[in-house]
Structure 1
Amino acid sequence: MGKEKAGFLTPKAIGNRIKSKGLQKLRWYCQMCQKQCRDENGFKCHCMSEAHQRQLLIAGENPGAFNNFFSSAFYKDFMQLLKTRFGTKRVQNNVVYNEYISEKEHIHMNSTRWVTLTGFTKWLGREGICKVDQTEKGWFIQYIDRDPLALARQKELEKQKAREKGDDERHAKAIDDMVKRGQDSSKDSASTSTFTELVRDDEGKISLNLQLNSEQKATTSSQVPTRVSMPSFSNKRKQTFNATKPPKKAKSALDEIIAADKRKKEMLHTENWICKDIVVKIITKRLGDRYFKKKAVVNDVQDKFTAIVTMLDSGDKVKFDQTHLETVIPAIGKPVLIVNGGYRGCVATLESIDTNKFSATLTITQGPLNGRTIKDLKYEDFSKKID
């Protein structure tokens, strides 16, 4: 009788598993049989075995099918590692390959259609699967992600950047318009106010008449009459002094009511404007550039002037003071929340924006004032409302 095979838990079987554990030499690996030998003698015995010869006969009948199978398996595993481990980062091809062959049961490149790693890298570049470039340090590859979800996410990020850029450009344009108006007003005031020199005519001399009659000499209480002629100024100066202001137009009863209502609304302005469920922009660098000019949603308000916000891009929860935040102006037709003034707390729709006056026109959409139109509401009195 033949000698029985060692059991699974015998010391010899455990020692064999320990020896075969881990990556072995490539020269002693048979890809057709997917068997790893520990030394040259074991690999020679395996090549002379009947199972290996039978596998070679099967592969000889259709060698192209086996080559395509191993090539597709190698490409699939390599690209899966590149996508999950490195993403769309630029990385050296040898770094990816060394991490790929660290797996013991990997597909060896000598069984594929690519002879070398450089040839496989060039093929990836020709097929448009990766961005390939050669440097002094070797070949570098960069995976091109064409996943529909990734493309949609990238498109959404581009839209968000475009919206932020539009807000910044609109704000910069408003500042430029304000500076231009200030320069125009200063030029107008300089052109209207003309300075003239004080001119005195020669005829405007001061003269005294000291002639006295006999009656005036006898009287002790007599007075000496004097005649004083004041200096006369030029015509230009007279026109300047004689200029009168145009008469003010009398206000009607309706104008007085409107002005009184406007003063009443302005009196209702408060120092705190932070409200819940609005979108704000961070305008401070105290926490670094990570949150600067980023947008967030106000979740809670503490002590009227402190806001607990959630960042829209990262989801971080941060506490900011009111002075470090500013309102956000949405696109036309989007909902807003009035945060200050007589209509504070009302939900409205943005109808139009007046960049010259830094104000907007809103239409209230909820509450008892539904349908009322508010004109010339300042930018800082309303902000974008989350859906």
Structure 2
Amino acid sequence: MGKADFLSPKAISNRIKAKGLQKLRWYCQMCQKQCRDENGFKCHCMSESHQRQLLLASENPSKFMDYFSDEFKSGFLELLRRRFGTKRVHNNIVYNEYISDREHIHMNSTQWETLTDFTKWLGRKGLCKVDETPKGWYIQYIDRDPETIRRQEEQARKKKQELDDEERSAKFIEEQVRRGRDGKEVEETTVFTELKRESEEEKVAFNLGASSSLAGSSKPSSVLGASALKPSSSSSMKRKDPSDSRGEKKRKSALEEIMEMEEKKKKKQQAVRTDYWLQPNIVVKVVTKKLGEKYHKKKAVVMEVRDQYGAVVKMIDSGDKLKLDQNHVETVIPAPGKRVLILNGPFRDTEAVLEGIEEKDFSASLTLDSGPQRGKRVSIAYEDFSKLA
């Protein structure tokens, strides 16, 4: 019987059936041929071409199985990476999308018998994160691409650097607030003063002029009102002068005096304090990570200061010279007994000797070793002095 005509219903039906997926048990992986029914698959197995393929496979069966297994694994992981990325997804969803391609490698030709075995194998090899739930096995692709790993490391490094800068600035602000609060905290106590009379002869008088004017018919009352008015005016004048003198000579409270002293001290410090602190011949520590791990957290000596905010430093361990901004370095606190240079504040450019460290106040006790106040012991914040080279 010949083939049906191209436009006949039979031929169209055959083409529609050939496009769709057929049963896996009627597929021959060696010949890559899909049969539509059991009879067709039986006829294919008895064909000469299939017998030749079986003879080739029998010579080295592990070679063909390894090849099909690698192809299945590569296609499955590529679909998982492109379609779902690093999301957690059910393994059966990925498998159904994979087998929707007619030219895919069938699992019955690989070393894995079931999808569960293949999923467990991916977890053991570290290719995916797998976990079992009551709904089945879930997989999550692990992206090991060098470019992706480098990008993730760069993002993590930037995030960590931002957090370090934020923590450092928050810590500095908190320290300044605490220091200012400690300087202004004074116990406010109520001062009671004794009420004293300026002179014992002074008498308290009441002005009855208004009442006497109302009773104008009686003469004694009017005389009494006039006489009472004069002492009251004189006594009021007497009381006015001492009160004015007391108002002018009124002493300030202890709290007001302390506040004025703090304001004067703050103005004096602001006058001598600047936002730049770099000085030659001091030891600093590189805190920026933009130069790489080679220079991070390494110490250097300031050789030259440029434009007040920049400096040329020489690394102590390697001898390399770098040009850095003052935001990229921080001061170095030496051991007690070592010489330091005060970089900011009223004792700027003064050499001193480190006596001890006050961890609670984030400051150190220094003994001035130069200047007019030599020998004086002062307390300086960590960021206002550094070790001398």
TM-score by length of 1: 0.51
Rate the CA distance shift 1:195–1:70 in 2: closer, same or farther, 3 A: same
The residue type paired with residue 93 of structure 1 is: N
Partner of 1:198: 193
Please list the CA deviations of residues 39-82 of structure 1 after superposition, one character each: whole Å capped at 9, or x if unmatched.
22211211111111221122122211111111111111111111
Cα contact 1:93–1:140 (8 A) shared by 2? yes
Q: Deviations over 1:246-278 (max 9, x none)?
A: xx9xxxxxxxxxx8xx9xxxxxxxxxxxxxxxx
* Counterpart in the other structure of 1:133: 131
For residues 1-387 of structure 1, the aligned pairs below 5 Å read 10-11=6-7, 15=12, 16-187=14-185, 190-191=186-187, 195-200=190-195, 205-207=200-202, 240=251, 350-352=325-327
2:225 matched residue in structure 1: none
SS of match in other structure, 2:130: strand
Shift of 1:240: 4.1
The number of residues matched between the two structures is 239
Query: How many Å separate the matches in 1 of 2:166 and 2:11?
Result: 69
- CA contact 1:74–1:108 (8 Å) conserved in 2: yes
State the alpha-carbon separation in 2 of the partners of residues 30 and 201 from structure 1. 120
Gaps of 5+ in 2: 204-230, 244-248, 262-270, 275-286, 292-306, 311-324, 331-343, 345-389
Q: What's the offset of the Cα at 1:182?
A: 4.3
Distance in 1 (alpha carbons) for counterparts of 2:77 and 2:202:
112
Aligned-pair distance for 1:141? 1.0
Residues 14, 161 of structure 1: alpha-carbon distance in 2 compared, 3 angstrom cutoff: farther
In the alignment, the residues of structure 2 paired with residue 40 and residue 332 of structure 1 have an alpha-carbon distance, to the nearest angstrom, of: 69
1:96 maps to a residue whose letter is V
Letter in 1 for 2:72: F
Spell out, residue by residue over 1:288-313, the C-alpha distance to the aligned partner (whole angstroms, 9 max, x if none): xxxxxxxxxxxxxxxxxxxxxxxxxx
Counterparts of 1:332 and 1:204 in 2: how far apart (Å)? 79
Contact 1:201 1:231 in 2 (8 A): no
Q: Which residue of 1 aligns with 2:220?
A: none
Tell me, in whole angstroms, the C-alpha distance in 1 between the residues paired with 2:181 and 2:103.
76
Question: 1:333/1:10 Cα in 2 relative to 1: closer, same or farther (>3 Å)?
Answer: closer
- Residue 20 of structure 2 aligns with an amino acid whose one-letter code is G
Letter in 2 for 1:50: E
Change in 2 beyond 3 A, CA 1:165/1:242: closer
**Under a length normalisation based on structure 2, what TM-score does the superposition of the two structures give?**
0.51
Of all paired residues, the percent bearing the same amino acid is 55
Amino acid at match of 1:55: Q
Instruction: Provide the alpha-carbon RMSD of the alignment.
Output: 4.6
**CA deviation after TM superposition for structure 1 residue 84, in Å:** 1.3
Q: Secondary structure at the match of 2:120?
A: helix
Q: 1:206 to 1:184 in 2, by over 3 A?
A: farther
Q: Residues 200 and 231 of structure 1 are in contact (CA less than 8 Å); yes or no, is this contact kept in structure 2?
A: no
Q: What one-letter code is carried by the residue in structure 2 that aligns with 1:35?
A: K
Give the superposition deviation at 1:5: 8.3
Aligned to 1:379: none
Give the drift of 1:149: 0.1
- The 2-side partners of 1:90 and 1:100 are apart by 17
Distance change (3 Å), C-alpha of 1:333 and 1:80: closer
Cα distance, 1:242 vs structure 2: 12
User: How much has 1:139 moved relative to structure 2?
Assistant: 0.7
CA distance in 1 between counterparts of 2:144 and 2:130 reads 16
The runs of 5 or more residues in structure 1 that have no matched partner are: 209-223, 233-237, 249-258, 263-329, 335-345, 358-387
Query: Does the 8 Å contact 1:83/1:143 carry over to 2?
Result: yes
* Counterpart AA for 1:170: R
Cα distance between partner residues in 2 of 1:47 and 1:332: 67
CA distance in 1, matches of 2:130, 2:180: 55
Decide which structure has the larger Cα Rg and report it.
Answer: 2
Shift of 1:116: 0.8
CA distance in 2, matches of 1:134, 1:180: 53
Q: Which residue of 1 aligns with 2:372?
A: none
Letter in 1 for 2:326: E
| Residues 1:64 and 1:165: Cα distance change in structure 2 (over 3 Å) | same
Distance 1:198 1:332, change over 3 A: farther
What is the CA-CA distance between 1:167 and the residue it aligns to?
A: 3.5
| Closer, same or farther: CA 200–31 of 1 in aligned 2, 3 Å | same
Q: Contact 1:74/1:112 (CA < 8 Å) preserved in 2?
A: yes
